[in-house]
Amino acid sequence: MADQQWVLETHLQANNAVSSVTFSSNNSQYATNQAGNTTLLDYPNAPVFRIHFKVQFQTSANSLGSSNFYFHGNYQSSNDFVYDYASATSNTTMTPNSAVGTSRDYGYSTGNQQLGYGSMGSQFTNYNWGTAVTDLDGNSVASTSRRRGAWCTGWFENHFPDQAGYYPWHYHLGIVTDQQADNSASGPTPDWGAWCIGAGGCSAGPYIDTITIGSGYNFIGDFFLFRGMNGNYQANE
């Protein structure tokens, strides 16, 4: 395959529940092209950071608080953010057959970028439904299996602007279930999921050599850190 601009810098797999994951020394890894030449993944060579993820929050809380899911670069101060969301249980709830508006949250000079209203607990109240089921391969899947929990998927992206005081973030995530999340006695699938889209930045300093993603709830999941380079410096197998 020809040399390309995008590098999968690392894949972090959290199989044991943790409260945060951190990528450190983000600017110290090298990309290698087909000729064997290396290029440092520093800010000038690789200015775009993109993290794709899937995560399960180990809680039965249907709605998370905004600060229950967050991320930040090197600084836990001077973070600003705004996002539009449809939460799991508020009157912005969506169902497969309808959606009722969105709401928004924002913060100024806070510790981190927050997006918790755009997700929900993966062990939502009604997730332990029924008994064990059999999957397509004939395996028994217990009612409380992680495979029955809801996955929140999404991405964070940052284009490092190479200036002293500010770096921007953009993000988008969503989560759906095949059950009503709130265990209400009403229709079959209200309170179906949540999503958000937002943006923010930090004025405490220009550095994102470290990125931390965290929650007050423990979580499992996968995190892929990609770097976009300013040239075709990487041979991806």
Partner 1 sequence: MSLREPPVMCMIHDCATGETTERELTEEEYAIRDDMQAVAEEQQAIMAQKQADAVAGRQKLLDLGLSEDEVTALVGAPAPDGAEDVENPAPAV
Contact set with partner 1 (CB under 8 A)? 9-10, 12, 14, 16-26, 28-29, 41, 61, 63-68, 70, 76, 87, 89-91, 93-101, 111, 116-117, 184, 186-191, 214, 216, 218, 225
Bridge partner list, 4: 234
Output 111 or 166, the one with its CB closest to partner 1: 111
Residue 138's CB: how many other CB atoms inside 10 A? 6
Alpha carbons 56 and 204: distance in angstroms, whole number? 30
Residue 125, Ramachandran bin (φ over 0: left; ψ between -120 and 50: alpha; else beta): alpha
Q: Which two tokens stand for residue 194?
A: 């949540």
SS3 (DSSP) at 116:
helix
CB of 37 to partner 1, least distance (A): 19
Q: How far is the CB of 112 from partner 1 (least distance, A)?
A: 8
Q: In the complex with partner 1, which residue's Cβ is closer, 111 or 205?
A: 111
Provide, rounded to whole angstroms, the least separation between the CB of residue 80 and partner 1: 17
Contact assessment for residue 65 and residue 116, using Cβ atoms and an 8 Å cutoff: yes
The smaller minimum CB distance to partner 1, of residues 85 and 167, is found at 85
Two tokens, residue 51 = 């993290």
Rg of the chain, C-alpha, whole Å: 19
Q: Which is nearer to partner 1, 95 or 166 (CB)?
A: 95
Closest separation in Å from C-beta 156 to partner 1:
16
Neighbours of 230 (CB within 10 A): 12
Nearer Cβ to partner 1 (167/223): 223
The type of residue at 165 is G
Question: Cβ closer to partner 1: 10 or 139?
Answer: 10
- DSSP secondary-structure letter at 30? E
The nearest distance, CB 79 to partner 1, in angstroms, is 13
What token pair was written down for 225? 């850190």
Closest approach of partner 1 to the CB of residue 32, in Å: 14
